[in-house]
Structure 1
């Protein structure tokens, strides 16, 4: 029993629970904000959850060799909490569940969500080590509101500023998440965009992109954010600035990524509040 509990804990840690929970909750909030029916909201949430689990597990499965070389004791595959075989099976099972759940929302929204998940997998498989490492994050985050709008209100389209804002959030999250592992990644041959521009430029780029995302969400065309919008924007800017400062003072800290996810949460709350403007009726 003890071994099973330990393995379950390792499997949970290997899915990257922070991003999984955040993106899933955000998708559910989007669905509610866009007026999805209960059935649609549940399908959207489960589809996103399955997709996120497949991405998280595949990341640790594919990176297991690199993590061992870097002696990443925080990784379950290195500590022995879960095997690579188990991660591979779980990732593929979650991916199959994601396909079924996504298509159950409709062919068009399902196709959009599967494109987002495929983009995220492309980062794990090949783009992580290229100058285009930012692209899967931009594509996957940018497609999320499109998926939820199509699944919630098929006759509506998604405002361009909302797509741009979430895409920028994805890029900012990518750079912030990569910062603590730059040295380990270089030793194992990973050379994404943050590695190529260097730690100093990356510490500047991450908060700048996140602030830009916040500005797009608050100041989108024909938007009237009001006092609450400006307050949320101020908090987001402060969090992004803090992320930059922490990354500079503590290069291996994961706090910048946590702060980045907090900025993402604020922006999505603003998007949910502005749901009538995000979902443009035909």
Structure 2
């Protein structure tokens, strides 16, 4: 095999490892929601692309910093889905990628304006704070509350018109973030316990954790259904009724079988409902 082929193979392995370590699905999902909200707020094409780039690089920096900081912990719990822990990619490479993505986020965010850029950067800082230690405290959910609320404010501020969105936008964002925190952590409770990570979901346990997560997302459904002035009666009725019905089913499932996947899947359905409501009412 030629030296060029070997080099190409190594480069592909590094790129594949970085892609896996970036937490691609959450990163792309958050970016897509931000872009759609930006379009709904009147952003033109170039600023929409810039916003998408800023949010995506911010999410990548959070994902890569998570795998970089937690490499030893993930190795101890034999996390096969973590390239830095399995040795598929060097920890240093993930650290460098996290730093480069963070730098790109700073530049692209501030190009959207000082206020919008600062708030978007504060949203990313919340994710880094979580990775750097907040995740192991009772205040672990605060990082998600803050970051998702700040993200909605930053997206709104990047568009034309008033800098601040209606109050219900960051409130719904914060509730969605809080629910996302539990959805992200609950499947890993046992692995985290082995390495001493005890955030809020760990302290509450799987049964109570699912219920709290469901209540947060159901409250977001109610807020999104009733608070917007432009909401029609039909929209409000569908939003609130569907959100509360799913919340009730999730709570029952969590109480009956806290370790079952049914409650988690129902919670994902509520989260998807809330995201659709948030995009629908703002676009």
- Asked if these proteins are the same fold (TM beyond 0.5), I'd say yes
Q: CA deviation at 1:241?
A: 5.9
Deviation string, structure 1 residues 227-247 (Cα, Å, up to 9, x no partner): 355445555556656666379
Q: 1:57 aligns with which of 39, 55, 64?
A: 64
TM-score (ref. length: structure 1)? 0.88
Deviation string, structure 1 residues 8-33 (Cα, Å, up to 9, x no partner): 22211111111101000001001111
Q: 1:197 aligns with which of 193, 198, 204?
A: 204
Quote the Cα distance in structure 2 between the aligned partners of 1:27 and 1:102: 13
Quote the Cα distance in structure 2 between the aligned partners of 1:250 and 1:81: 34
Quote the Cα distance in structure 2 between the aligned partners of 1:253 and 1:63: 26
Structure-1 residue corresponding to 2:33 = 26
Structure-2 residue corresponding to 1:123 = 130
Q: 1:251 aligns with which of 254, 259, 264?
A: 259
Q: CA deviation at 1:76?
A: 1.2
Quote the Cα distance in structure 2 between the aligned partners of 1:259 and 1:173: 13
Structure-1 residue corresponding to 2:73 = 66
Deviation string, structure 1 residues 95-130 (Cα, Å, up to 9, x no partner): 000000000000010000011111111000020011
Superposed, which structure 2 residues align to 1:1-282 within 5 Å?
Answer: 1-220=8-227, 222=229, 224-228=231-235, 230-231=237-238, 236=243, 245=253, 249=257, 251=259, 256=264, 260=267, 263-275=270-282
Given that 1:120 and 1:136 are in contact with CA atoms closer than 8 Å, whether structure 2 keeps it comes out as yes
Structure 2 unaligned runs (5+)? 1-7
Deviates more, 1:46-55 or 1:244-253: 244-253
Given that 2:57 and 2:105 are in contact with CA atoms closer than 8 Å, whether structure 1 keeps it comes out as yes
Secondary structure of 2:89's match? Answer: coil
Q: CA deviation at 1:165?
A: 0.9
CA change 1:62–1:247 in 2 (3 A) is farther
Quote the Cα distance in structure 1 between the aligned partners of 2:152 and 2:188: 29
Quote the Cα distance in structure 2 between the aligned partners of 1:228 and 1:197: 34
Given that 2:207 and 2:254 are in contact with CA atoms closer than 8 Å, whether structure 1 keeps it comes out as no
Deviation string, structure 1 residues 150-172 (Cα, Å, up to 9, x no partner): 11124342111111111011001
Structure 1 unaligned runs (5+)? 277-282
- C-alpha RMSD of matched pairs (Å): 2.5
Alignment coverage as a number of residue pairs:
275
Given that 2:222 and 2:239 are in contact with CA atoms closer than 8 Å, whether structure 1 keeps it comes out as no
Quote the Cα distance in structure 2 between the aligned partners of 1:132 and 1:156: 29
CA change 1:107–1:252 in 2 (3 A) is farther
TM-score (ref. length: structure 2)? 0.88
